[in-house]
Structure 1
Amino acid sequence: MQIFFRTVPIHLWFLTIWSVSKIIQYIFNQQQTVWEMIWQRSIDYYEQDKYKLFEYGILVTSTATSVIVLSIYSFFDFTQKPAFIRKYKINPNTNEPPDSTKFIKVISYSVINVILAVIPTTLLAYYGLKWRGIPSLYPLPNILTVLITCFINDHIFDVSAYTTHRIMHHRLLYKHIHKIHHEYKSTIAVAAFHSHPVEHLLVNLLPLVPGIVIMKCHIATAWIYLIGHMLSSFITHSGYHLPFLNSPEYHDFHHMKFECNYSVLGLMDWIFGTDKLFNNTIYHKRDKILFSLKSAHELYPKEDGKVVKTQ
């Protein structure tokens, strides 16, 4: 079942935040929820221009999300604080702290990728959505519609991304393009953007477009979906298996072994049998959402190559 619901924690967090906003609206007898107020101000700021709302809105929200989340994870990595966080590292004693030169190189790749890959992709998504017919700015879609749309988009993305990712492992493409992303065998959050611009475009970004166009996403839903996707990518590459968040064990194993676990959700790997190596390891046992403060290492310790679950 994990192959269908690997990104669900992000969706549940959004549902929780939305629910809190509804409670606040009820308690203070407000006419609008926090989300509706943010959306209204965004519409006013961009003068109801759908192009600006889509293009600039996505660039602003994605940049803000990246800076905030990556700053938090980078603080964990470079300071190794708070101390209790270290027990959640998938591979202890790695990147403690990360190599500064390598880190700066990753940041430079990120800036290049925004210019060469992110902007063209958002333009393609906008005009694809315009061709389908951009939904009216009002009203905002209800929460159920947003969650179902994001869920379906995740699986549309998984099919496309699996295909392009696996192609990138062809020896010629790997040597000249994909090898850059695999410079980190034990990843950190910023490594999510550490890739050749061609790969970033073909593997990470373009597979996002079909879902947005096919599902005829409301612009606000597209914002939420893309932010959620970014958060999942940061978590997946963070190197930390934190409670109540997506498990990064699956993709982390891909960085260790290369020739397996090509997809994000795992569905395509299951169909084509490219997850068999992973399924026979301790990492498969640990590939769970943690619903307590115990780390995956504590729940599934490794003793003489055998998996023993603690009580």
Structure 2
Amino acid sequence: MFPGPELGCSQELLAVSQHLSQNPTRVRASCKQVTVEPTSHTLVHLLPSLGQVDPVKLRQSIRTVLFNQCMVSFPMVVFLYPFLKWWGDPCRRELPTFHWFLLELAIFTLIEEVLFYYSHRLLHHPTFYKKIHKKHHEWTAPIGVISLYAHPIEHVVSNMLPAIVGPLVMGSHLSSITVWFSLALIITTISHCGYHLPFLPSPEFHDYHHLK
């Protein structure tokens, strides 16, 4: 059996209502640094016992994230642009209507959920985990910036493809693609930040997933 998968977009949103109904006192909580001891009125890092962030490890991780963004994501988008232009021309003058964008967003989310779920489970298979996905799990107490800290193969298969297939299928406008990618980045940053912030999905499940 594979270890449990990470939370996807719709599961993250569902967790908000569940958490607020079960833990209403946390709505009034404030955010503290990792080294601050928890009290009944503060919100601290969910895994404070794992200590402060190693600055050397952080710098190395930021370099990896920048590499993935500049040397993997950007060339991939450039490579796919001719197909986008042929299929729907993302830079066309007509903007999508709000109702059409909501439909696109629902389809994007559905496609992303399915592709991310199965790609992530695949990366937890022993054949791929040690050589590829283990890099992402080097952070046993994740922070927001390492949401894209991954092997380049994982970045393509599990980060980029699940998010970009929806806009490709729909022939979406650049405005829709920009909003969708912004939401996807915000959600994955929240799930890796290590803080349970008021009115936002709890990253607790994801933190313990990184301990595996």
Question: Once the two structures are aligned, what percentage of the paired residues are identical?
Answer: 33
**In structure 1, C-alpha distance between the alignment counterparts of 2:41 and 2:192, rounded to whole Å:** 16
Q: Could you say what secondary structure the match of 1:176 adopts?
A: coil
**140, 144, 165: which one aligns with 2:120:** 165
**Deviation of residue 142 (structure 1)?**
2.9
**93, 107, 111: which one aligns with 1:156:** 111
Which residue is 1:87 aligned to?
A: 43
Which residue is 2:130 aligned to?
A: 175
RMSD: 2.9
- Does 1:115 find its partner at 2:70? yes
**In structure 2, C-alpha distance between the alignment counterparts of 1:145 and 1:241, rounded to whole Å:** 33
**Deviation of residue 106 (structure 1)?**
0.6
- Does 1:5 find its partner at 2:10? yes
- More contact order relative to length (CA 8 Å, sep ≥ 6): 2
The correspondence of residues 210-249 of structure 1 with structure 2, limited to 5 A, is 210-249=165-204
Q: How big is each residue's C-alpha offset from its partner over 1:142-185, in whole Å with a ceiling of 9 and x where there is no partner?
A: 33332331222122012112222222122232112111100112
Larger Rg: 1
Structure 1 residues 127 and 141, CA, compared in 2 at 3 Å: closer, same or farther?
A: same
**Deviation of residue 4 (structure 1)?**
7.5
Structure 1 residues 158 and 92, CA, compared in 2 at 3 Å: closer, same or farther?
A: same
Which residue is 2:150 aligned to?
A: 195
Which residue is 1:132 aligned to?
A: 87
Structure 1 residues 206 and 5, CA, compared in 2 at 3 Å: closer, same or farther?
A: closer
How many correspondences in the alignment?
188
Which residue is 1:254 aligned to?
A: 209
Structure 1 residues 195 and 213, CA, compared in 2 at 3 Å: closer, same or farther?
A: same
Q: How big is each residue's C-alpha offset from its partner over 1:246-291, in whole Å with a ceiling of 9 and x where there is no partner?
A: 332332232133xxxxxxxxxxxxxxxxxxxxxxxxxxxxxxxxxx
**Deviation of residue 231 (structure 1)?**
0.6
Amino acid at match of 1:162: Y
**In structure 1, C-alpha distance between the alignment counterparts of 2:208 and 2:132, rounded to whole Å:** 20
Unaligned runs of 5+ in 1: 10-75, 258-311
1:6–1:247 Cα contact (<8 Å) kept: no
Q: How big is each residue's C-alpha offset from its partner over 1:6-52, in whole Å with a ceiling of 9 and x where there is no partner?
A: 3559xxxxxxxxxxxxxxxxxxxxxxxxxxxxxxxxxxxxxxxxxxx
- Does 1:147 find its partner at 2:102? yes
1:187–1:237 Cα contact (<8 Å) kept: yes
Structure 1 residues 109 and 86, CA, compared in 2 at 3 Å: closer, same or farther?
A: farther
Which residue is 1:270 aligned to?
A: none
Q: Could you say what secondary structure the match of 2:95 adopts?
A: coil
**Deviation of residue 232 (structure 1)?**
0.6
Structure 1 residues 5 and 202, CA, compared in 2 at 3 Å: closer, same or farther?
A: closer
Structure 1 residues 179 and 230, CA, compared in 2 at 3 Å: closer, same or farther?
A: same
Q: How big is each residue's C-alpha offset from its partner over 1:72-114, in whole Å with a ceiling of 9 and x where there is no partner?
A: xxxx75786xx9996242223434x311111111111112112
**In structure 1, C-alpha distance between the alignment counterparts of 2:106 and 2:12, rounded to whole Å:** 8
Structure 1 residues 100 and 86, CA, compared in 2 at 3 Å: closer, same or farther?
A: farther
Amino acid at match of 1:184: W
